[in-house]
Amino acid sequence: MSKFLIIPIQLDYGAEGALWYTPYQSYKEIIKYWQAMEQVGYRHPTNLSHLFPQGKLQYFGSKDMGFFDDLYFSAPLRIMIDDNYSSFLKFKGKEYFHKGKLFL
């Protein structure tokens, strides 16, 4: 049986959300993947598959955001995607930034 982690991804500070069913085996691997990313901005319509091609994505619209927010804020690791400047990964209270942000 294959193990996967489920990571909530908030888009544009709460406009939409997604769950990423990642094949990574640990949070440390996900943090390393995030820190190596060059670009993290997205364009409407929402399509995160170019940022997270591994695994599966499940999207949540505005009618489901209350449920999604509960998942997002209770998760030990979560990702907020907006643009290259303001996107971050948060794990146990610490924010991690992607490689591309270092050059802005």
User: And the tokens for 9?
Assistant: 């991804």
Residues 6+ apart with CB under 8 A from 3: 25
- Each residue's pLDDT tens digit, 79-101: 999 888 888 999 999 999 887 76
Confidence at 1, pLDDT banded by 50, 70, 90: very low
- Each residue's pLDDT tens digit, 45-64: 567 888 899 999 999 887 88
In the chain, where the domains are located? 5-103
Residue with tokens 């990642």: 22
Closest by CA to 79, choosing from 48, 43, 45, is 48
Closest by CA to 48, choosing from 21, 81, 71, 74, is 81
Cα–Cα dist 20/49, whole Å: 10
- Each residue's pLDDT tens digit, 6-45: 999 998 877 789 999 999 999 999 999 999 988 887 665 5
Residue with tokens 């991804």: 9
